[in-house]
Each structure stands twice: as structure tokens, then as C-alpha cells.
Amino acid sequence: MDLTEVIRSRRSIRKFEPQKISQATIRNLLELASCSPSAHNTQPWHSIVIENFKMKAKLAKEMGKVWISDLVKDGTDKIQAEKTVETKNWNRITNSPILIIICLNKKGIHKHADSRRRKVEYLIAVQSVAAYIQTLLLAAHSQGLGACWTCTPLFCQNRIRRTLKLPKELEPQAMIIMGLPNEKPPAPSRKPLHETCTFNS
């Protein structure tokens, strides 16, 4: 596929074939993703690749606890909350051949004396991580793999950090599930360009 076709045909894939994905394939994808632009060329991303079922199950369970608690706070019945989390969290995580937790490495963020610039440096580091994720998704699709980007870790950063025993400088930002696709979702609707772009003003 050429680049235009890769961009236009990529979809969020949530169902996968059970085949394992080799570490060599994942390493290649992550190397391609590392070509992404980043502010000050700090490359403030760190990927944690999880292949082991027990670790995926443990992570799904711990993340699920936070989600259930949040749903109950919002007024959802606890039993219904547990069913929702099992379907949308547990199954997707444990049935995905590859799980990648994408973190922001705060160690490389430029330091400033004032809070305004510190906030800006943090935000541009987050944007850099997002660019890395998009490149990873396109690279995976170009090689016949399916993937889905979810920002669920933002709701339970501390729980993920404890479960994976992450150092304090790594801040979970996103989760990618990945494998050989077992579905062909239709093209999602897109807003026309005149709604999302203006020129010169």
C-alpha cells in the first residue's frame, strides 16, 4: 500500500485472530514509530509491550476496578458496571495478542522556572507521544496488523504504574491493543474539511 492508501484505510480494530505476533515484528514497528517528530527531539515516549496472558489479565483486573468504581459513582448499578467492564475492558485486553502501554517519559521534559512554560513543555511532550502513537498505528496497518488506540490509562495512571512497577518518571498515556485483525469495520464518518479548517483567519 502507498501512504495515501494506508492513511485512508486504517481502522480501529478490536477483534483479533489468536496468532502470536513475533517480537521481531513489534520491535520493527516500534523502531518505525521512533521516527516520529518530537519537541526538542526529546523523544519522550516509552513503550511497555505485554505478551504474557497473566500480566494482561492482572492489568485488566486492576484497571477494571477503577472503571467500576467510576461507573458506580456516576450512578450505574454495580452488577451492570461489572458486566460493562468485563466486555469492554477485560475481554479486549486479554484477547489481544499484543498489549502496549505507551508512557510519557517526563525525565526528558525541559525544565523552566515559571509554571506557564513548564505547562507548555508538558503539553508538547504529550503531543509528541501522540505523534508516536499515530505513526505506530499506521506502521502496524501497513504490515497487515490491526490495532486500536485507547486513552483508558489516563483514568487509572497510578493503578497501572503500581501494577507494572513503573518508575515515577513514566506516566501512562495510552494503551494499544494489536494483532492480526478478525474484523473489517466500515469507514467511520468524517467531518467535511470546511468544518475543520480555515485559511488565513
* Domain of residue 123, CATH code: 3.40.109.10
Host H or E run for residue 193: helix 193-196
**Domain-embedded: residue 192:** no
Q: Is the pLDDT of residue 197 over 90?
A: yes
**Domain-embedded: residue 149:** yes
Tell me the pLDDT tens digit for each residue of 46-104.
999 999 999 999 999 999 999 999 999 999 999 999 999 988 888 899 999 999 999 99
Domain that holds residue 118: 11-183
Q: What phi and psi values does residue 155 have, to the nearest 5 degrees?
A: -85, -10
Q: Strand runs (DSSP E) across the chain, as ranges?
A: 45-50, 98-105, 146-150, 170-179
- Look at the pTM and tell me if it is higher than 0.85: yes
Host H or E run for residue 70: helix 53-73
Supply the pLDDT for residue 108. Answer: 81
**Domain-embedded: residue 195:** no
**Domain-embedded: residue 65:** yes
Q: Is the pLDDT of residue 40 over 90?
A: yes
What mean pLDDT is reported for the chain? Answer: 96
Q: How confident is the model at residue 1 (pLDDT cuts 50, 70, 90)?
A: confident
In the beta sheet, which residues pair with residue 55?
none
